[in-house]
Amino acid sequence: MEPFLQARDIIPFPSGDNSSDTLIGNSHLNLTTLEHWNYALFTNQTLSNGSWCLLAWEPWIADFVMPNGTFVNATWCWSPVNGIGERAGVSIGFAVLFGIALVLTLVALNRHGRLYLPVTTRFYPIGRRWQWYWGIVVSATAVVSLFTAMDVDRYYLPELPLILTSFFWFLMQLGTMAQVWEAVRHWGSWMERQFIDPDPYALRDDDRRSRVEFYLPLLFYLFWWLNFFMIVPRNWTPIQHQRYSEQVVNEAIPTATDARFKAAGFLLFVCWCITVFSLRHSIKHYRPRNRGLINRFVGFIRMTPLRFKLLLPIALVVPAFQELVAWKFDYSPLNLEGDRAAIFAGGYAPALLIMYIQIVFGFINANEDKELKRQRIVRNQQLDQELGIVKKPSWWARVNGEVVVPGESMRDQLVRNVREVQGSSKPRNDAAPSPEDGVPMSPLSPSVPAMSPATSPPPPVYTGRSERIRQERAMQAAAEMLFQQNRDAEAERRRRAQDLMVDGPVPPPAAAAITSRTVPPPPPYPGAGGRDGSVAPSVDSRLSSQQPPQQIRSMLDV
């Protein structure tokens, strides 16, 4: 470690009781031991040998020094022994405001991140939440930077707190630009979602518009990460070397104003330009178009939402101030004695204003899913008005008995609907229709005989807990009632086919005996052909003449 002060800042040790004793702050220390370990007394009231630094005034001076160079009750130079200064007082106030913004951002995230519609692959829920995630990052990094700034004033010699407050300040700047970018990008996505909700095929997925929207986030975060790598991975130790003027000039200022910090500010400005271009792209494709250069500029200003009219100019201060401190060390947060007004007005105030603007509009704007549902209802009402459709009021169903009875099963609802089809709206106490009820199906068949319980008994009433079986039983009962006419027609067809099989001469007993042994059974009525196509003669033709003539009942008998 390099010495903290130059040789001309060294002062001689005060004389003590004898030649091997020195009196420093009412503490007698062994002068021989101090000289053996190369300790020197400096004008800033510190005792140091280049590796260790101790405070050398009351009440922080050591009580005793051992021959091996160990001090008893000593206080290091990097200790918070000073009171809260101007930087610390303002930092506490800003930290409280950022803490409140953090809580409100969480509320806004819950408000806008909740889903009320099914998720689609084209619009992921995380897209609308990113701006609030970055708001949480901004608030957290700002609080850490501001709380560590309090120790910058309290430490006697600058050390780790100065590095921490500067490090998290740069992270806060990155988070602020990402928050503004995500707000603008998501607004364009929200415009697209409203544009294609009435017609999903209104916009193509492979045109120039979609390609630009795909590459813009990649381009933004490319420059965003370049800014990160220009600032974060570096040697931060020279920043804390501000213990005397020569050290500040030779180490702190060259490090805080090097080419990497200058390039980082320019890269952040490129990110701001990409954000403005994204807003212009969204207005061009999802807002009414204007022709002419002047009209386009006026339309761009007029179509820009109020939130972005406030956010973008404030966000421009972020890269501008970062570039300023890379050239002027007097206004830099890395400067131990920097201008306090410039540091808080240009370094922390823009991020705080952006946070609260986002929060205010987050509470004003509704959830996107709810807004989309409202727009769908308005469109449906407009379509109903154009088609002349007038929906019945809510009391219409109650007056006409269409209210679902509490505790009514699916079977009871189907039975009630069947009675309404029959033309009887009189309520019944029983849950199922009696066999005497008729079911008129259409004007062509005004009445159909009731279904006989013997031929088609109703299914038993299910009393179990399975809702699926209960619904199946109810559907079965309704099907039996609604399609009773089809079952009667099927039974009539089977009866006629059976009559056709019975009509005609009865085969003789001999033929029946032969059939039971080896010969294949004869055809059921005369005239049927054998396997070789020949016509088998009648076994007893006289029986056919003795039978009464066949009565033709329908075309099926011919």
Query: DSSP string covering 21-50, please?
Result: EEEETTEEEEHHHHHHTT-EEETTSEEE-S
DSSP state of 248: I
Residue 11 sits in the same domain as residue 123: no
Are 420 and 481 contacting, i.e. CB atoms less than 8 angstroms apart? no
Both 249 and 338 in one domain: the answer is yes
Tell whether omega for the bond before 59 is within 30 degrees of 0, i.e. cis.
yes
Q: Is there a single domain that holds both residue 26 and residue 102?
A: no
Contact in structure between 79 and 55 (CB atoms under 8 Å): yes
389-442: pLDDT as tens digits = 887 777 777 666 666 666 777 788 788 777 766 665 454 444 444 444 444 444
Range of the domain at 209: 86-378
Q: Is residue 170 part of a domain?
A: yes
Q: At what angle do helices 259-286 and 208-231 cross, to 10 degrees?
A: 160
Same domain, 252 and 214: yes
Residue 145 lies in a domain: yes
| Domain count for the chain | 3
Would you say residue 160 lies in a domain?
yes
pLDDT at residue 207 in the model: 86
The Cβ-side half-sphere exposure at 292, using a 13 Å CA radius, reads 4
- Asked if residue 316 is part of any domain, the answer here is yes
The verdict on 151 and 52 lying in the same domain is no
Q: Residue 191: how many CB atoms within 10 A of its CB?
A: 15
Of 82, 94, 93, 89, residue with least CA distance to 150: 89
Report pLDDT for 517.
Answer: 46
Q: What is the DSSP letter of 338?
A: -
What's CA 322's distance to the chain center, in Å? 32
**Is 55 part of any domain?**
yes
**Domain co-membership, 222 together with 104:** yes
Distance of alpha carbon 216 from alpha carbon 181, whole angstroms: 10
SS (H, E, C) 83-131: CCCHHHHHHHHHHHHHHHHHHHHHHHHHHHHCCCCCCCCCCCHHHHHHH
Q: What is the pLDDT of residue 10?
A: 77
**Is residue 558 situated within a structural domain?**
no
Chain Cα centroid distance, residue 210: 21
Q: What is the CATH number of the domain that holds 167?
A: 1.20.1070
CA-nearest of 115, 118, 114, 113 to 133 is 113
Which pTM value belongs to this model?
A: 0.67
Which residues face 65 on adjacent strands? 71
Q: Are residues 234 and 336 in the same domain?
A: yes
- Asked if residue 268 is part of any domain, the answer here is yes
Same domain, 44 and 181: no
- Regions of the chain where pLDDT drops below 50: 1-5, 7-8, 425, 427-456, 506, 510-519, 524-545, 555-556, 558
Contact 346, 318 (CB under 8 A): no
- Do 271 and 170 share a structural domain? yes
CB proximity list for 206: less than 8 A, separation 6 or greater: none
Question: pLDDT digits over 433-490, tens only?
Answer: 444 444 444 443 444 444 444 444 555 666 666 777 777 777 777 777 766 656 666 7
Tell whether 81 is covered by a domain.
Answer: no
Residue 130 and residue 21 share a domain: no
Distances (CA, A) of 92 to 85, 136, 142, 170: 11, 19, 11, 19
Q: Where among 359, 378, 397 does a domain terminate?
A: 378
Of 469, 491, 513, the residue at which a domain comes to its end is 491
Boundary residue ending a domain (50, 72, 94)? 72
- For 483, residues 6+ apart whose C-beta sits below 8 A from its C-beta are none
Question: Is the same domain home to 264 and 364?
Answer: yes
Residues 41 and 146 in one domain: no
**What values do phi and psi take at 76, rounded to 5?**
-70, 155
Q: DSSP characters for 350-381?
A: HHHHHHHHHHHHHHHSPPHHHHHHHHHHHHHH
The values of phi and psi at residue 235, to 5°, are -85, 110
Measured at the alpha carbon of residue 434, what is the angle toward residues 429 and 437, in degrees to the nearest 5? 105
Structural contact between residues 313 and 168, judged by C-beta atoms closer than 8 angstroms? no
The pLDDT score that the predictor gives to residue 405 is 66
